[in-house]
A = this chain, B = another copy of it.
Amino acid sequence: MTYGLIGKFLAQPGRRDELVGYLLQAAELLGRDQGCIQYLVSSSDEPEAVWVSEIWTDQAAHDASLEPDDVRALIEKARPLIAGMSDQTQLTIHGGKGLPD
């Protein structure tokens, strides 16, 4: 049973697309991370909201992913665009269709 994480950021007014861009850069950095199965960046009809849906082999892999210098640098660049974070939920994924290998 795989570790999932769903969370919603609220961007500063008018900055949502920039925040989406930084999070897509984060997804690119995670391309090298064997523990990261999925990291998707989405928006909804709520203004300024940006959703991140993550799947990891386990929670330790997620936590370790935040440590590399380039990830930290990216977080520092994105931080001023973030007005708030809410609804982050840890999930235990039981299965289904389309879980990437």
Contact = CB atoms under 8 A, between A and B. Distances in A.
Interface of A: 4, 6, 20, 23-24, 27-28, 30-31, 36-45, 51, 53, 55, 87, 89-100
B27 A97 contact: yes
Given A20-B94, A51-B89, A99 B40 contact: yes
A31 B92 contact: no
B39 A97 contact: yes
14 contacts: A4-B53, A24-B95, A27-B96, A30-B97, A36-B97, A38-B98, A40-B95, A40-B99, A41-B95, A42-B91, A43-B92, A43-B94, A51-B89, A53-B91
A98 B100 contact: yes
B97 A38 contact: yes
Nearest to A89: B44
